[in-house]
Copies of this chain bind each other. A is one copy, B any other.
Amino acid sequence: MIRVTVWNEYYHENPRYEHATTKAMELHPNGLHETVAEIVRELGADKVTVRTAWQDQPEHGLTEEVLSNTDVLIWWGHMKHHEVADEIVERVYNRVMEGMGFIGLHSAHHSKVFKKLNGTTCNLKWRDGTYERVFTTCPSHPIARGIPEHFELGVEECYGEFFDIAKPDDVVFQGWFDIGEVFRSGCTFTRGYGKIFYFQPGHETNLAFQNPYVRRIIQNAVEWCYSDVKAPYIGAPQIKTTLEDQRLEKAEGDYLRFF
């Protein structure tokens, strides 16, 4: 059972904010977190349990209790990155070090957590209202399962290179934009014991989350980012090894003796 938490800044589509847009509210009547949670739930109740959290909740909804019961955290944020408390960023970061998966969607590239995990600025170029086609450039990757060689995403906000990220483990997807831009749209990273996936589609006023391939990719990513490895060293920043640790157990014969 994979325990997923979908986190959202909940701004563009939140009627409580005056800058919320009609389009975003129509597309995400229960908040973008619910839109994404629905996608994850399609994996089936035998595979996943899904909860949501958002920025305006106490501790941004990411209490120690919530995070310690989260295997994969999905993150969507855009306008209020700077208002996320550093203490919560540290908490999420530490859980990734321990093995929690992390999926950053769209403008999460500029979230404090993702930048901290990357060790770079994560800057990029952008422009609204373009046409995107998505290519699968690592077809044997588990996140690409069921995804064709390329698919039409249609209208989506353009993100363009140079995308200032650390070298990904795999660039699973690449985007082509009609205005003359390319982008590493689906990237995997490993940090500590945690597995990370960044995926570029998902602008709040476009239809990416209705696209069946986008949905499948997010579902695949949840499964791929999940890990049941127990990180042994959390809380013990560094280990001084002891003689006992280093004693070799000899399987047979007369080999070198240590100590």
Query: Of residues 158 to 177 in A, which have CB atoms within 8 Å of B's CB atoms?
Result: 158, 160-164, 166-167, 169-171, 174-177
Question: CB < 8 Å: which of B129, B252, B258 contacts A180?
Answer: B258
**Does A239 make an interface contact (CB < 8 A)?**
yes
Instruction: Given A149-B232, A258-B179, check contact A192 B120 (CB 8 Å).
Output: yes
Closest CB-CB distance, A98 to chain B, in whole Å?
A: 10
Cα A227 to Cα B256 in complex, Å, equals: 40
Residues of B within 8 A of A195 (CB): 140
**Does A123 make an interface contact (CB < 8 A)?**
yes
Cα A248 to Cα B110 in complex, Å, equals: 29
**Does A228 make an interface contact (CB < 8 A)?**
yes
Chain A residues bordering chain B, tally (CB within 8 A): 81
Pair A248/B131 contact, Cβ less than 8 Å: yes
Question: CB < 8 Å: which of B119, B129, B237 contacts A166?
Answer: B119
Pair A252/B176 contact, Cβ less than 8 Å: no
**Does A58 make an interface contact (CB < 8 A)?**
no
Kindly list the 5 A-B residue pairs having the minimum CB-CB distance in the complex, ordered from nearest.
A154-B251, A119-B119, A125-B239, A117-B119, A135-B161
Given contacts A131-B255, A136-B162, A140-B227, 5 further A-B contacts (CB under 8 A): A123-B237, A125-B238, A140-B195, A149-B232, A153-B251
